[in-house]
Amino acid sequence: MSEDIKLDRAELDARIRRAPYHQWLGLSVTEAGDGEITIEVPWRDEFFVNAEAGYAHGGILAALVDLAADWAIATKLGRPFPTIDMRVDYHRPALKGTLRVKGKVIRLGSSFSTSEARVEDADGKLLASGRGTYATGTGK
Amino acid sequence: MSEDIKLDRAELDARIRRAPYHQWLGLSVTEAGDGEITIEVPWRDEFFVNAEAGYAHGGILAALVDLAADWAIATKLGRPFPTIDMRVDYHRPALKGTLRVKGKVIRLGSSFSTSEARVEDADGKLLASGRGTYATGTGK
Amino acid sequence: MSEDIKLDRAELDARIRRAPYHQWLGLSVTEAGDGEITIEVPWRDEFFVNAEAGYAHGGILAALVDLAADWAIATKLGRPFPTIDMRVDYHRPALKGTLRVKGKVIRLGSSFSTSEARVEDADGKLLASGRGTYATGTGK
Amino acid sequence: MSEDIKLDRAELDARIRRAPYHQWLGLSVTEAGDGEITIEVPWRDEFFVNAEAGYAHGGILAALVDLAADWAIATKLGRPFPTIDMRVDYHRPALKGTLRVKGKVIRLGSSFSTSEARVEDADGKLLASGRGTYATGTGK
């Protein structure tokens, strides 16, 4: 595990945007604390799985769960780590509109760590939630 | 569960491309049989999570596992169904190049069904795998 | 979904003990509220996976996660429901001693519901955690 | 990862029985090959979650998925490894009768490995299936 280096919201926001897929998703970090992070995601019409029914593809929500869970760890350890595996539960269709995803560390370990995330709509309604295991023993 | 309507490869290919996110991913159905489907995905540079290290974001692979598992069910039941939950295991970094994902039904049920998928690179090396539960009792 | 019938701690305790496997596990319900439940589990030496190293089999912890998540739903809906699928994360070895498992509803739905649970040792240290999906649309 | 030491069926059978919980479950290894294992489990009435309806507790099936997935790795690496996390899907009620669980390695890695398992009844009907991640980088 890398040393405990805390990054502030602005640094996390700058770093998370380096990933081309994050740029495409349009992510911005709105809050970041000790093991917790909130990320905002503006809508893109490419998110639709079904344009008539008007809701997002599950793979978009899965990406948000994975990245928020991982970057919650980054608030504690200074960077994200490779995902070993993840689970996502889908609770409600994610209709067109801004999405918000909140990541939170469950348990930091020297080799593996577990973290969870919740995706909400602009009104705070829970759309999806899940958790992942991250290889926090991995060197840079 | 809808009646058992089998669609051929060309029909599945046409239907899967209707989803805007699938168009963005550039999917094409290359094989489809009784409970199994193979989908090809050309590379896009927006897939990168890390452009220097040169590999895809886990959320892209999660989307591929989810959609291939779901469309494997479509080969049996005529359409995909809402994802209840899913799991993805990441085995190797997905380097720049064509991706191939193979979905396969594990068990069809009247209310919910389980299906799995494997993401491979162009050489057939296993990159990620997983499984999902789908609400096959849901009306159209 | 059955009507919203809340059971108190004593009723939940009586009902949970009806299951032969729960009797073998020695469960008792110590707290139960609106969507939350706490269950205590005295140690049995059959729990060991490794008697020299002195810790419990992962299958015991998996059973505790599953049943606490399910009975958290029972605090809201009056009874447990069939498990569709579940995930367990193992955080620390569960050494000989009383175990405590806390279940909590994440989201109730008319067909499927999601609930989570945490297994702790007597000092409140987190040993395992997880979540499951339950078929709350199932008739009695 | 420990060196690649293959154990034969009889050795695996002897080693798997050392665990007190495995003794209680009454496990016997009936087949074991290169990355695959089959384990038989005689019925015990303590397995019931519901004695009238007559089927096993999900926690019993979860234990079988976990241990068969882990011991499939043991056929390749000479011993089981700590479970990091696991998923179980429940397909049908497991009625009173002998259970059979088949584990199979999905991918061996130097730090963590993924393996899957299927629980069947005496007629080969699929009751539950799942997969787990194991810490194969862990020293003895």
- Mean pLDDT, rounded, for A114-118: 98
Each residue's pLDDT tens digit, B98-118: 999 999 999 999 999 999 999
Right CATH for A9-134 from 2.40.37.10, 1.20.140.10, 3.40.50.300, 3.10.129.10: 3.10.129.10
Pick B21's closest partner by Cβ from A59, A83, A90: A59
pLDDT of residue A66 exceeding 50, the answer is: yes
How close is the nearest chain D Cα to the Cα of B12, in Å?
27
- The chain-wide mean pLDDT, for chain D, equals 94
Each residue's pLDDT tens digit, C5-18: 678 999 999 999 99
- Residue D80 per-residue DSSP state: -
How close is the nearest chain A Cα to the Cα of D73, in Å?
17
Interface touch B59/A48, C-beta < 8 Å: no
The ipTM (two decimal places) reads 0.95
Number of C-beta neighbours around residue C4 at 10 A:
9
Interface touch B106/D91, C-beta < 8 Å: yes
> Nearest to residue B115, comparing CAs of B132, B99, B90?
B132
Each residue's pLDDT tens digit, A5-60: 678 999 999 999 999 999 999 999 999 999 999 999 999 999 999 888 899 999 99
Each residue's pLDDT tens digit, B7-27: 899 999 999 999 999 999 999
Residue C126 burial (10 A CB sphere; 0-12, 13-18, 19+): middle
Chains that touch B (3 or more CB pairs under 8 A): A, C, D
Nearest CA in chain D to A134: D84
Size of interface A-D (CB pairs under 8 A): 22
Give A133's contacts in chain C (Cβ within 8 Å). Answer: 89
Give C115's contacts in chain A (Cβ within 8 Å). Answer: none
pTM of the model as a whole = 0.95
Pick D114's closest partner by Cβ from B91, B107, B109: B91
Nearest-angstrom CA–CA distance, B4 and B16: 18
- The chain-wide mean pLDDT, for chain C, equals 94
Contact status, residue B34 vs residue B4, Cβ threshold 8 Å: no
* Boundaries of every domain in chain B: 9-134
pLDDT of residue B57 exceeding 90, the answer is: yes
Nearest-angstrom CA–CA distance, A83 and B58: 7
Each residue's pLDDT tens digit, D38-56: 999 999 999 999 888 899 9
pLDDT of residue D3 exceeding 60, the answer is: no
**Residue to test with chain D: of C23, C46, C70, most D Cβ within 10 A:** C46
**Residue C120 CA neighbour count, 13 Å, CB half:** 15
Percentage of the residues of chain B whose pLDDT score is greater than 90? 90
Size of interface B-D (CB pairs under 8 A): 32
Give A87's contacts in chain B (Cβ within 8 Å). Answer: 85-87
DSSP H or E stretch at residue C130: strand C126-134
pLDDT of residue D8 exceeding 80, the answer is: yes
Predicted pLDDT of residue D5: 64
- Mean pLDDT, rounded, for B39-46: 98
**Residue to test with chain C: of D46, D71, D116, most C Cβ within 10 A:** D46
- Give the dihedral sign, CA C17/C19/C25/C31: negative
pLDDT of residue B2 exceeding 60, the answer is: no
Size of interface A-C (CB pairs under 8 A): 32
pLDDT of residue C1 exceeding 50, the answer is: no
pLDDT of residue A1 exceeding 50, the answer is: no
pLDDT of residue D58 exceeding 70, the answer is: yes
Q: Residue C116's pLDDT band (boundaries 50, 70, 90)?
A: very high
Q: Residue C138's pLDDT band (boundaries 50, 70, 90)?
A: confident
How close is the nearest chain D Cα to the Cα of B17, in Å?
30
Predicted pLDDT of residue D60: 98
- What amino acid is encoded at C68 in this protein? A
How close is the nearest chain A Cα to the Cα of C83, in Å?
14
Each residue's pLDDT tens digit, C37-85: 999 999 999 999 988 889 999 999 999 999 999 999 999 999 999 999 9
- Mean pLDDT, rounded, for B93-98: 97
Give B59's contacts in chain A (Cβ within 8 Å). Answer: 21, 59-60, 62-64, 66-67
